[in-house]
Structure 1
Amino acid sequence: MDSPTVLVLYGTDEFAIDQTIRKLIVAMGDPSIAEMNISHLDGHNLNMNDLNTAANAIPFLSERRLVTLANPHSAYKGAKELKKLSAFIETLPPTTTLVLAEYLDSPANKNKSFYEWLQKLAKAQGGKVTVQTQEFNMPGRRDLPGWIIRETKKQAEAYKKHIKIDPAAAARLAEMVGENTRIAVQEIGKLLEYVDFERNVTVEDVEKVSIVSAQQDVFTLVDALGNKNGRKAQNVLQQLVQNEDPFSLWGMVIRQFRLLVQAREVMDGGGGQDDIARELHAHPFVVGKLMNQASGFDLKSLEEIYHRLLELDEGIKTGQATIELALDMLVVELCG
């Protein structure tokens, strides 16, 4: 290529964004060589010298370098900072692919600050470099069963199989995963292995194989954390770590506290179960359990825990901590 590539990946579907970055990494070729030509940085604690060094380095035994910057909006939020970013992009060498990944809590068109920032960034380039943008949003509650049906077909076809998931089974799985596409993808894979890629997936399969028990254990873990019962929290956590995929487990813990924050906000505003169900797009059974659990926390405590989880999540993404270590730290901090 005779010009650098700049991609802005953004939206609420963190898993889809990460998958897109993963494809770019795979396209780099031999992992042992690619590793020396890939840099991952985070806008929350960005050192500009590190970004300059990573982006302007000469590729080693490769045609290109790949640099990813998570949370660029945090590092370049103001007008002056955005101007610096635009100028930096204009000076990128043609051998560099720069990926700006912004993980949002709500779609960009409902996130005024980021949406305006993105528009200004796209318009600020002088023509030497084209900034390509792509939005990834998690499917809503109504759309998730259809998404699960399509994803099941996609995974089956990768093995040259033509099996499906029954609509009722897709709806049941959607209730379980709660709009979390990362967990949904993993659960679909488990279900396909369970049926040995030989028949359609049924509701009974979902009930037997999927994450109902893990979700209950996460509820138990959060209860123990709320009660500052460190021994019980460690015991439950140990079982979860042994039996569940780390990324699925981490996603469930973050999601649980996010739902608790949202439920507590509605409760503090005088809302009840129906209000929470509408706000969270959650199943009534889940809402009832959320209300009981949220009653054990005040809103400030939940917000502090959730923000701490996001800090730990950044550490995981940048390789500073493992998921197991992050969960251990959470238990120690809340129960110590």
Structure 2
Amino acid sequence: MDARTWIKELDKGTVRPLYICYGPEKYRMREFIDYVLRKCVPEDVREFAVTKYDLTETSLDDVLEDAQTMPFMAERKVILASNAAFLTGAKENAKVEHRPEKLLDYMKAPVDFSVLILTVDADKLDERKKIVKLLKDNGSMAPFVPLSADDLLQWVKRQAEALSFRFAAGAAEALLLSAGTDLQALRSELEKLSLYAGSGGTVSVEDVDGMVARTTEQDVFMLIDHIVRLRKEKAMTVFHELLLKKEEPIKIAALMTRQFRMLLQVKELERQGYSQQQMASQLGGHPYGIKIASEQSRRFSFEQLASILSSLAELDYGMKTGKVEKTLGMELFILKLAV
């Protein structure tokens, strides 16, 4: 099961008695929970019809007892219970004991006036457990995973549309390069761009460059993108901006090493036939970052990437031992690559 299927069901008026949400993408999880609330409980009665529990402090028995209690001033109520660690293989540190079998008993005859949402702070559930297998089979659980590269780009464009502005060609991609792939951070930058553009306005690549704050990691990501595209002036501009932010050349070199190593790994995995989603899982990166790394790696051969990593190691040693002046050494390295 996946969250998209749940949303389609909700749109058709089908509400499940139980939703178990897990996975690394917490922003999408919160979006889904908010959607359930909008569909199930009118805003003016949410104070009475929405209850929140922390399963590290409250027993599952108490939560299920609440679920079987009629709602007050509402036709349906929603119960949110976080930290359902009993569904994972992790050792529980809860102050209370849970009896997971009671959840299976409840699901044999769930009430129609309660919606129970359990959230799990884990990327995976323990599918060796009977309860996990049964709840998975009946469609009660779904993972919230990072969006694919294409889906992330479309998500950014839909968010802009909802905020009443649009992106000029290349501007949405520029936002992802500058702000990264964290949905909460992207949402904040989108709201900022919305205020700048105004209703019905258009945001250009130049607007994104001028308005969006970049982390050091994203600056280095852009620095390498300029190098790959042979834009040495822009690459040098980004490097000097990093220096103005008091970033040490040794740190910049370390981040460049990490990114070029990623290019080499992506190139090798592509050769082995991995998809971008598979590579993201294997390397622990976001699918959009893997997509960009894949595009960047095509500029280099395996031998060239290995040589770049070797040169970065020599540069790092030279800067740390004082044999190479840090800023000059980095400038020469960037100019050598961006030709």
CA deviation after TM superposition for structure 1 residue 133, in Å: 4.2
Equivalent position of 2:198 in the other structure: 196
Equivalent position of 2:180 in the other structure: 178
CA deviation after TM superposition for structure 1 residue 49, in Å: 4.3
Equivalent position of 1:41 in the other structure: 53
Does the 8 Å CA contact 1:4/1:92 hold for their aligned counterparts? no
Q: Secondary structure at the match of 2:133?
A: helix
CA deviation after TM superposition for structure 1 residue 86, in Å: 1.0
Q: Structure 1 residue 147 and structure 2 residue 155: aligned?
A: yes
Aligned amino acid, residue 119 of structure 1: K
Aligned amino acid, residue 177 of structure 1: A
Greater shift after overlay, 176-185 or 135-144?
Answer: 135-144
Does the 8 Å CA contact 1:169/1:206 hold for their aligned counterparts? yes
Aligned amino acid, residue 191 of structure 2: G
Distance between the aligned counterparts of 1:113 and 1:49, measured in 2? 21
Match for residue 275 of structure 1 among 242, 261, 273: 261
Distance between the aligned counterparts of 2:155 and 2:59, measured in 1? 39
Aligned amino acid, residue 89 of structure 1: M
The correspondence of residues 201-240 of structure 1 with structure 2, limited to 5 A, is 201-212=203-214, 215=215
In the alignment, structure 2 segments of 5+ residues that lack a partner are: 1-12, 90-97, 220-253, 267-282, 294-339
Per-residue CA deviations over 1:139-159 (Å, capped at 9, x if unaligned) read 245653343223323432xxx
CA deviation after TM superposition for structure 1 residue 77, in Å: 4.2
Equivalent position of 1:227 in the other structure: none
Distance between the aligned counterparts of 2:259 and 2:186, measured in 1? 26
Distance between the aligned counterparts of 1:176 and 1:3, measured in 2? 39
Aligned amino acid, residue 60 of structure 2: M
Equivalent position of 2:113 in the other structure: 95
Equivalent position of 1:119 in the other structure: 133
The correspondence of residues 239-278 of structure 1 with structure 2, limited to 5 A, is 272-276=258-262
Distance between the aligned counterparts of 1:49 and 1:211, measured in 2? 47
Q: TM-score, normalised by structure 2?
A: 0.52
Does the 8 Å CA contact 1:166/1:200 hold for their aligned counterparts? yes
Match for residue 29 of structure 1 among 30, 42, 46: 42
Q: Secondary structure at the match of 1:185?
A: helix
**Which one has the largest radius of gyration?**
2
Rate the CA distance shift 1:167–1:102 in 2: closer, same or farther, 3 A. Answer: farther
Q: Secondary structure at the match of 1:85?
A: helix
Aligned amino acid, residue 208 of structure 1: G
Q: Secondary structure at the match of 2:163?
A: helix
Q: Secondary structure at the match of 1:59?
A: coil
Q: TM-score, normalised by structure 1?
A: 0.52
Aligned amino acid, residue 161 of structure 2: K
Does the 8 Å CA contact 1:140/1:179 hold for their aligned counterparts? no
Does the 8 Å CA contact 2:50/2:78 hold for their aligned counterparts? yes
Rate the CA distance shift 1:136–1:81 in 2: closer, same or farther, 3 A. Answer: same
Per-residue CA deviations over 1:115-174 (Å, capped at 9, x if unaligned) read 976433244xxxxxx654444322245653343223323432xxxxxx421342111211
Q: Percent identity?
A: 18
Distance between the aligned counterparts of 1:100 and 1:86, measured in 2? 14
Q: Secondary structure at the match of 1:66?
A: strand
Distance between the aligned counterparts of 1:148 and 1:210, measured in 2? 14
Does the 8 Å CA contact 1:39/1:66 hold for their aligned counterparts? yes
CA deviation after TM superposition for structure 1 residue 100, in Å: 2.2
Equivalent position of 1:56 in the other structure: 68
Aligned amino acid, residue 115 of structure 2: T
CA deviation after TM superposition for structure 1 residue 211, in Å: 2.9
Per-residue CA deviations over 1:237-281 (Å, capped at 9, x if unaligned) read xxxxxxxxxxxxxxxxxxxxxxxxxxx9x9xxxx95433565335
Aligned amino acid, residue 126 of structure 2: S
CA deviation after TM superposition for structure 1 residue 20, in Å: 1.7
Per-residue CA deviations over 1:5-55 (Å, capped at 9, x if unaligned) read 222333332112111211232341143x32122111234444234313421
Distance between the aligned counterparts of 2:57 and 2:259, measured in 1? 39
Distance between the aligned counterparts of 1:112 and 1:8, measured in 2? 10
Two-structure CA RMSD over aligned residues (Å): 4.1
Aligned amino acid, residue 201 of structure 2: R
Aligned amino acid, residue 275 of structure 1: R
Does the 8 Å CA contact 2:24/2:145 hold for their aligned counterparts? yes
Distance between the aligned counterparts of 1:177 and 1:103, measured in 2? 25
CA deviation after TM superposition for structure 1 residue 90, in Å: 2.9
Distance between the aligned counterparts of 1:150 and 1:193, measured in 2? 16
In the alignment, structure 1 segments of 5+ residues that lack a partner are: 106-110, 124-129, 157-162, 220-263, 285-336
Aligned amino acid, residue 202 of structure 1: S
